[in-house]
Structure 1
Amino acid sequence: MLTIETTQDTFFLKKNTINCKGKLLNLDELVVMGILNLTPDSFFDGGLLNNNQEIIEKVQKMLSDGATIIDIGGYSSRPGAAEVSEKDELDRVIPIIKLLIKQFPEIIISIDTFRSNVAKQAINAGAAIINDISAGNMDANMFATVKELQVPYIIMHMQGTPQTMQEKPTYKNVTLEVIDFFAKKVNELNKLGINDIIIDPGFGFGKTIEHNYELLNHLADFEILELPVLVGFSRKSMINKVIKTTPQEALNGTTTLNTLALSKGANILRVHDVLETKQVVDLYKKMKVNTI
């Protein structure tokens, strides 16, 4: 098992600031990323937003509740999700990005896509971050696009694709293999001059329940990469299969895992429930301030 020391006295110097279109975001402050799904088939909130006014109200609430970033996606990445054409993805996300930039000029939007053209058009429409579940593996042009755009880039680990990822995922040592995956990707990105990188271990993406909890248990080991860490547990099956809940009942489980992740060095929590997550962050920060 990996046994890297990651206490406060570690020699690793984590890069915890990113430049979002001229706005320097300090991830040491612990960031809540609110999920805005524009898909009809997402596992928890698919198809719930039916018009622009509902979307504006949803985003207004997330921002008021404490979201720093709004993550917009038009392609469901749940296990076994149906394919979505690039045109359909663009039609779902670009008008909404423009709408939200007009309504909330200071908003920081990340575009959840593995397609370089969708990423480019989203950034041109006003998004500030690219969130790629495939870390460039599903579009050979993605790294070059990120280099051209010079925006922060979230890379996630996934074994397989959304259509195949839960078909018997196998690892000899999931923590070591995921860290090695990121080390190689980060080296490749750094050579291209891309340095604003955030890593996402990909909980639930090509991993069994046991893999997910082993990764969470060793999340602090990712400090070796010296990069901000994003986690996304929100209402996922890794919660529901353990405590026998549905996604609709999984808020308490989500809160528990988010708290554990903060204690192990997570910087960004990607969630459906912003208010409750911001409360977790505030309580955790208060505890840290008063820790001797």
Structure 2
Amino acid sequence: MAQQSVQTVLATTDVFQTGDIKWKHFNVDTSNTCPKPLLVFTPTVPGTYPVILFCHGFCVLNSFYSSLLAHITSHGFIVVAPQLFCMGLPMLGLCEVKFAGKVADWITEGLQAQLTKHVNENIEAKLESLILAGHSRGGKTAFAVALGYAKTNLKFSALIGIDPVAGLSKCKICRTLPHILTGVPQSFNLNMPVVVIGTGLGPEKASCCSPPCAPDGVNHVEFFTECKPPCAHFITTEYGHMDMLDDDTPGIIGGTVKCICKNGTGPKDLMRRTVGGLVVAFLRAYLSAQWKDLNAILADPSIAPAKLDDPVVYLAA
């Protein structure tokens, strides 16, 4: 397995800036036969767009990702973000994975009608295959769905883990169900391209009284290690586990997420634009064979708004 060699390219790309496509967002509640409440971000410019199912992190509201999801949408994607559980009422991991699978099934059956209702009939969801994505525990949920732990016959085209976490520590009893990490390199049986975006400060404690939010042994490093090619790994060196959330996260939940994890000192907008841009560049490359943006980042990672460690990308064997 050889690391991808990158030819010298003009290191410029638009993915780290807001895209040119106008967008809006709307809510879908469970009265529309949807298994969980949804926040949907969609372009308003007529066209057919790939769909991303995005799973939020542990005890985090889906609305806290609005700026990040809007950035991705502005480059030509529909994002469906379910609220899988509420603060104080987290589900067992297997239940959470099950509901994520049910939302995926609903997307193929119910999303198009909602797009027509809230936008217009000229916005089409590309439903032949879906993209799975998630942050923190939601990243682990996305991996679990991709690995077949949810009852769905859907074909998924790509998988995105944003600082995925599988538990409080590498001790098996402290991991959330299902136990998908094996400790064996390239053990994930995934027939799709995968990108893992980690944080440099995730494994650090916010204080002496709190555990790290993305502990060593169960964080992005292990998730990437267990992926087979094609896969990519990026690390935002100077940012923390919750730094891709909105600046304004109101209420008790919002106050908690601001202090529970180690945070970077730079503007969070730089982190959001970096994560959003990496997602867009990766999907353009692997879904549309448009490699310009990803190659530009690989040739010069410093073009990203937030500092990146040297990325690693492996092509399919």
TM-score higher than 0.5:
no
TM-score normalised by the chain length of structure 2? 0.38
Structure with higher helix content: 1
TM-score (norm 1): 0.40
